[in-house]
Chains A and B, each alone.
Chain A
Amino acid sequence: MKQEDELFDSSRRGFIKTAAVATAAVAACGSLTCSCSSKNTTAAAGQKVKLLSPDGELVEIDSAYLNHQEHIAILSKLEAREGIAGKKFVMVVDLARCKNARKCIAACQKHHYRAEETEWLTVKLMKDNEKSAPYWFPKQCFHCDNPPCVKVCPVDATFKRQDGLVLIDNERCIGCKFCMAACPYSTRVFNWAEPEMPAAIRNLEYNPETGIPAKVGTVEKCDFCPDRSREGLLPPCVEACPNGVFYFGDENEDTVTNGDETLSFTQLIKDRAAYRFMEELGTKPRVYYLPPKDRQFPVERGYENLPDKLKARFKDIMEGEKKNS
């Protein structure tokens, strides 16, 4: 019972017994697990789910107490290094649609159990030159085809896969941070201290595709969620975006989708004059940006309602804009 106890909040002790059985059952079938993190006080949804306990008993659990944990892919290290055969993942980011709603960040943080401010995905406010209008610029890892980070890793802890992804094995990483110095896009983050995460996550088996649990003294970054792709799902950032900014897909199939519409990748980047950030560096990113032309939102929409802490990040540019207008 000890391990299960850690999983549950004391305020729901009455629930523990049933849930413990459920978790055990879930662990047995490997696709579901109970994620009752201590801060969530989920209200019962009323919908019951039937589960089989290890003793062969059938138990009913309210669905609100269960959560899909589909990203616990059971893969060998070798498979995680090779990647998904036949795929060539690619992303197209429509800058005309981004209003810094920050739902992508929230989804990413949640999916990867990231502590606040240790963002794998960030939204920058860009202003290319004095005269040009500022625009919001979501930035994941670019999963470059000529990745400067992979080139410099002395222990093969970060690697390029056949499906185009650049991943990190944080059990291999020695924390020399050479990849961070080499990445021109400030994509990588370092675990300067013991990373915060729910106790249940800490004991999970690590896999480079899931990136959890994070480890102190190692480097990590956006992984394009290959665990989701294996299940035919889109990365959480793509799903969470209310404006369909992110198109994710497969270059081999020549399709990208933002969840609402599925388009031809080549046609999209052709029609919308896509570019890659800092093409001149020769890193060959796998992320394409559609220029912020005919914008759907004024840039202020992403600024005005932000909490002060976040506002401070973009203050320099936004205040400058106000003065100019």
Chain B
Amino acid sequence: MELNTYQQEAFRYLRSHIEKFNKKTLIWSIFFLLWIMVGGYALYLQISKGHIVTGMRDNVVWGLFIVNFIFFIGLSYAGAIIAGLLHLFKVPWGKPIIRLAQMMTVISVIVGPIFILLCVGRFDRIYHLFLYPRIQSPMTWDVLAIMTYFVGSVLFLYMALIKDFAVYRDANLNIPKWKQKLYKILAIGYRGAASQKRHLIISQNLLAIIIIPLSIIVSSILSWIFGMTLRPGWHSTIFGPYFVLGALYSGCAVLIVAMWVYRKMYHLENYFTERHFKNLGYALMVLASGYGYFTFSEYFTSWFGSEKWDSEVIDKLFNPKQYGWWTLFANVVGIILPILIVAVPKTRKINWISLVSFFTIIALWVKRYLIIVPTLETPALPMEDTRVAYVKYTATWPEWALTFAGIATFFLFFTLMASFVTVVPVSGLEEPHEPHHHVHNNENTPATNEQLLTA
């Protein structure tokens, strides 16, 4: 597997990340594992005592687990769309971040469904989904969608990794035998021959073409679990696109933060440059505006129409004694703030954009909570229940523990994956054409996609 000089230089710099499992990585991994173990204990409680240990009750039948499910699955869809677009439109600056987006896609499509399993009262019977499937149910659509999507996104990541695996295989890395063997197997004999290149590129293009609409479809299907019910705040025609946009938006924010973290941790300043942060920042701004527009349409229509049931939800969302402050937080921090930060040149800087992205992630998580819980707390008939837990949802510690265990799993996967493959795709790198970057000889540039396809 031949690399051009720029790529060689990059690999010389990046190889140490996959050669040794450094102390920092180990400590973080243990930390995440500890969190997961706490979650494991919470899960044990939930299994042995039943879902009574959660805050969910007959009115609010879905809580944190579903919020997390939507959140992570959303990240996954966003990762695929971002990676797919960057790939298809051959965005030159996008090359170094495609891998990160694809990793996010696969990792969150693993973590997300875990939360569905946690939310199901009898996950010992989960095989009933396949034994007695009912195609009319949006849940079945979602099961099919997520499974299809899982295969698609794993393939999409893998296709993009094959060249790199070949590089790792040929690089004579200082790694244990099993790892070397694994790279060899995973590289499936890729040598960079013309026909191999062609096949790979065509497969990747096809997958990218498939995965973008697929993400949009599965994201909409996810929204239909809510949209297809007759409940105020859910039963809305814009829910499909609303969820697609929300997914993209939160995914963009997570990608920015992930870039920032890896940049710091592995000193990838040359690869995740200010340009990446700015460009993704612009995307973030556009998505924030779009999401704000959808949110406004949703609330405004409900409020103006002022149907009784709709109004009850709107009142809850805007009443400071109920969810008013959270609604304010979700919309100010989750919509207005990122727009401002990116719009003002002074704050259009790596750290500012990353910081606002971090808060955007939290705000968007809160927004998901505001979509799920207040609606469930507003049944059509008066509750007339004296049991506080049945009237108002309050997440319990096992739910929080499992939430953090899920987040820890997300981080753990990222950490482990980053010590198995380079976060920056070595073989896909193209020399940046920015003047302020160190310029090498341009003779040996890798063939572009068009050249490969027309060859």
Contacts and interface: CB of A to CB of B under 8 A. Distances in A.
User: Is the pairing of A and B real?
Assistant: yes
B50 A194 contact: yes
Nearest to A150: B136
B140 A190 contact: no
B229 A181 contact: yes
Contact of B382 (A125, A172, A188): A125
Interface string A157-178: 1000000000000001111111
Contacts of B121: 173-177, 190-191, 216-219
B57 A192 contact: yes
A268 B252 CA distance: 61
A281 interface: yes
A130 interface: no
A281 B133 contact: no
Nearest to A217: B121
B59 A175 contact: no
Interface string A111-128: 000000100001011100
B385 interface: yes
B49 interface: yes
A278 B131 CA distance: 35
A155 interface: yes
B425 to A, nearest CB: 38
B438 interface: no
Contacts of A281: 230
A185 B136 CA distance: 21
Given A151-B137, A184-B231, A190-B61, A309 B386 contact: yes
A154 interface: yes
A233 interface: no
A139 B58 CA distance: 16
Contact of A178 (B126, B139, B381): B139
A314 B383 CA distance: 10
A173 B122 CA distance: 8
A218 B121 CA distance: 6
Listed residue (A173, A185, A192) with the most chain B CB atoms within 10 angstroms of its CB: A192
A121 B367 CA distance: 35
Contacts of A218: 121-122
Nearest to B380: A184
B230 A153 contact: no
Contacts of A148: 229-230
A124 B49 CA distance: 31
B13 interface: no
B384 interface: yes
B132 A156 contact: yes
Contacts of B126: 174
A169 to B, nearest CB: 10
A219 B120 CA distance: 11
B51 interface: yes
Contacts of B385: 313
Contacts of B106: none
A312 interface: yes
Contacts of B379: 184-186
A180 B230 CA distance: 11
Interface in B48-104: 49-52, 54, 56-59, 61-62
A213 to B, nearest CB: 15
A124 B382 contact: yes
A182 B59 CA distance: 11
B51 A190 contact: yes
A193 B49 contact: yes
Contacts of B57: 190, 192
B346 to A, nearest CB: 46
Interface in B363-412: 376, 379-387
B123 interface: yes
Contacts of B225: 178
Interface in B112-129: 119-123, 125-126, 128-129
B439 to A, nearest CB: 57
Contacts of B58: 180, 186, 188-190
Contacts of A278: 380
Contacts of A189: 58
B181 interface: no
A182 B61 contact: no
A148 to B, nearest CB: 6
Given A175-B120, A181-B62, A217 B51 contact: yes
Contacts of B231: 181, 184
B380 A152 contact: no
B386 A312 contact: yes
A154 B376 contact: no
A153 B134 contact: yes
Nearest to A173: B122
Interface string B30-59: 000000000000000000011110101111
Listed residue (A117, A148, A156, A185) with the most chain B CB atoms within 10 angstroms of its CB: A156
A313 B386 contact: yes
Contacts of A139: 381
A314 B384 contact: yes
A283 B230 CA distance: 10
A312 B382 CA distance: 13
A117 B367 CA distance: 33
Contact of B128 (A151, A155, A194): A155
B3 interface: no
Nearest to A159: B134
A154 B228 contact: no
B373 to A, nearest CB: 12
B56 to A, nearest CB: 8
A314 to B, nearest CB: 6
Contacts of A154: 129, 133-134, 137, 139-140, 143
A166 B398 CA distance: 34
Interface of B: 49-52, 54, 56-59, 61-62, 119-123, 125-126, 128-129, 131-134, 136-140, 143, 225-226, 228-231, 376, 379-387
Interface of A: 117, 122, 124-126, 139, 148, 151-157, 172-178, 180-182, 184-186, 188-194, 216-219, 278, 281, 283, 309, 312-314
Given A154-B143, A177-B121, 17 more contacts: A124-B382, A139-B381, A148-B229, A152-B136, A152-B138, A152-B139, A153-B137, A154-B129, A155-B128, A157-B128, A174-B125, A178-B225, A184-B231, A190-B51, A193-B51, A217-B51, A217-B121
14 contacts: A124-B381, A152-B137, A155-B134, A157-B128, A172-B125, A175-B51, A175-B122, A176-B121, A181-B231, A186-B58, A188-B58, A193-B49, A217-B50, A281-B230
Q: Which 5 A-B pairs have the closest CB atoms?
A: A175-B121, A217-B121, A154-B139, A193-B52, A177-B61
